[in-house]
């Protein structure tokens, strides 16, 4: 059984990306199981803090989840046509100490998905993640992409995905990514 881990890059309770990740985890899964995680509780990266106190518990816990998974899906928002700082900060912590980077990221299958109220559905932040994942030594999934645009119109008041076309694209991506992660 392939294990996938979704990580939402938004801290917001009403996050569209977290809602999309929850919708992904609720889809019927064939041949894989999906767990979800977030980046709440991770402090701003500060080398002095690392030196004085080591790696924060929230970072270590997320690291272990990544290590246990066959594939990781980043549900990324887009801020100012780029990666939101909080999400990049979390990945920066996860890459510390650098001696641990290969254990966490090396050869690990990573996919990108994102939702935004705009028309381009996080296209530019997904593109901006590519060199970061490359640097970390990840195996990036490129067979399918999912940029969810006008995302605020696709969920009901409880944050449930109501758009069948998006749910289908999400399910197709997960199934293909699970096969990629299994290799």
Ligand X SMILES: Cc1cc2nc3c(=O)[nH]c(=O)nc-3n(C[C@H](O)[C@H](O)[C@H](O)COP(=O)(O)O)c2cc1C
What's the min distance (Å) between Cβ of 140 and ligand X?
Answer: 21
Q: Kindly give the interhelix angle for 85-94 and 123-136, rounded to the nearest 10 degrees.
A: 10
d(CA 7, CA 96): 18
Q: Which position among 57, 61, 67, 81 is part of the footprint of ligand X (CB under 6 A)?
A: 81
Q: Which position among 79, 87, 93, 105 is part of the footprint of ligand X (CB under 6 A)?
A: 79
d(CA 60, CA 26): 26
Which residues have CB under 8 Å from 132's CB, separation 6+?
83, 88, 91
The answer to whether 126 contacts ligand X (rule: CB under 6 A) is: no
The answer to whether 98 contacts ligand X (rule: CB under 6 A) is: no
Q: Which is nearer to ligand X, 68 or 81 (CB)?
A: 81
The structure tokens listed for 34 are 């999906």
The structure tokens listed for 130 are 């590519």
Q: Which is nearer to ligand X, 80 or 98 (CB)?
A: 80
- Of 6-25, which residues contact ligand X (CB under 6 A)? 10, 12, 15-17
- Contact positions vs ligand X (CB under 6 A): 10, 12, 15-17, 77-81, 116-118, 120
């Amino acid at each position: 059984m392939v294990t996938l881990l979704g990580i939402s890059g938004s801290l917001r309770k009403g996050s569209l990306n977290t809602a999309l990740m929850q919708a992904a985890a609720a889809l019927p899964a064939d041949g894989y199981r999906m767990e979800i995680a977030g980046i709440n509780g991770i402090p701003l990266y500060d080398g002095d803090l690392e030196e004085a106190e080591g790696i924060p518990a929230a970072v270590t816990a997320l690291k272990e989840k990544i290590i246990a998974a066959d594939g990781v899906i980043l549900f990324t928002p887009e801020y100012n046509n780029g990666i939101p700082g909080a999400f990049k900060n979390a990945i920066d912590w996860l890459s510390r100490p650098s001696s641990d980077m290969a254990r966490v990221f090396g050869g690990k299958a990573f996919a990108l998905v994102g939702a935004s109220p705009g028309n381009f559905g996080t296209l530019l932040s997904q593109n901006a993640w590519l060199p970061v994942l490359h640097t970390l030594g990840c195996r990036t999934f490129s067979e399918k992409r999912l940029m969810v645009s006008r995302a605020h119109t696709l969920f009901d008041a409880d944050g449930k995905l109501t758009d069948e076309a998006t749910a289908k694209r999400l399910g197709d991506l997960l199934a293909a990514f699970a096969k990629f992660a299994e290799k």
